[in-house]
Amino acid sequence: MSSRIVVLDTETTGLEVSQGHRLVEVGCVELLDRRPSGRRFHSYLDPERAVDPGALAVHGLSDAFLATQPRFAAVAADLREFLADAELVIHNAAFDLGFLDAEFARIDSDHVPLVRRHAVTDTLLIARERFPGQRNSLDALCRRFEIDNSGRTLHGALLDAELLADVYLALTAGQSTLSFGMESGDSASGIPGSVPISGSKVPLSLFTSRPRVIKASVEEQAAHALRLDAIDRASGRPCIWRQMEERPE
């Protein structure tokens, strides 16, 4: 079965979901086995409230434009279907998930938080671990990995999801399958000491250096435990990971 990832981004009326701010845009791109499949989900949304001036300066989506767009309830089923069974990759995941969960909860009182339904990878946490003390915004990471973001004059959920997909692949490039048997000075990419990964030319030295250990956060460990609970229930017995954890040293 193909490994399916959905890279996701949102735009909102303001910063605080607790203050009643709403989604105004959702953008998603699909990766299958770490390659873009070409499938996307994108929708502007009528938030049924005014956009804060600060948010308007970020994404440029006016109240007049958004009033002509569908409400979240009209696209929720299609969004759920697109997200189904996928790992979610999000930059600063707590922000986007908070807004998405609030929208789903408005139309479904039995909504289960997305972090309990999906594996979630937060690229901001990965970037902070890998580049401590440096700027790790999406723009900063695009510059660091030489990803062209020249079209990003304003934030846009679909454009940002597409850029984040490239950033995610670069951040996690060491997890890709390499073409072994290739001499370090004779790679198929045409660059000595490099290998092609997801269409990019990545120096082979990246994979010969000592691997960096990224420890799971408390939230990630909790989400992992919930996912194992779901596997246990589906299989009717402890899954292989739990069995290995229980083995004596």
Contacts of 85 (CB under 8 A, 6+ apart): 4
Please work out, in degrees rounded to the nearest 5, the angle formed at the alpha carbon of residue 218 by the alpha carbons of 235 and 119. Answer: 45
Domain with CATH 3.30.420.10 in the chain: 1-172
Q: What is the pLDDT of residues 237-246, one digit of tens each?
A: 776 666 665 5
Q: For the domain with range 1-172, which CATH number is right: 3.30.420.10, 2.30.180.10, 3.40.50.1970, 3.10.290.10? A: 3.30.420.10
Q: Are 109 and 115 in contact (CB under 8 A)?
A: no
**Backbone dihedral region for residue 28 (phi beyond 0: left; psi -120 to 50: alpha; all else: beta):** beta
Active site includes 111? no
Q: What is the pLDDT of residues 163-203, one digit of tens each?
A: 999 999 999 986 543 333 333 333 333 333 333 433 444 44
Q: What is the pLDDT of residues 137-157, one digit of tens each?
A: 999 999 999 999 888 877 999
Mean pLDDT of 43-60: 96
Handedness of CA 25, 119, 226, 212 (dihedral sign): negative
> Model pTM?
0.70
Of the candidates 21, 59, 118, 155, the residue annotated as catalytic is 155
Tell me the CA distances in angstroms from 52 to 72, 94, 194, one per residue in order.
Answer: 19, 20, 47
Q: Indicate the pLDDT class of residue 26, thresholds 50, 70 and 90.
A: very high
The Cα–Cα gap between 19 and 4 comes to 34
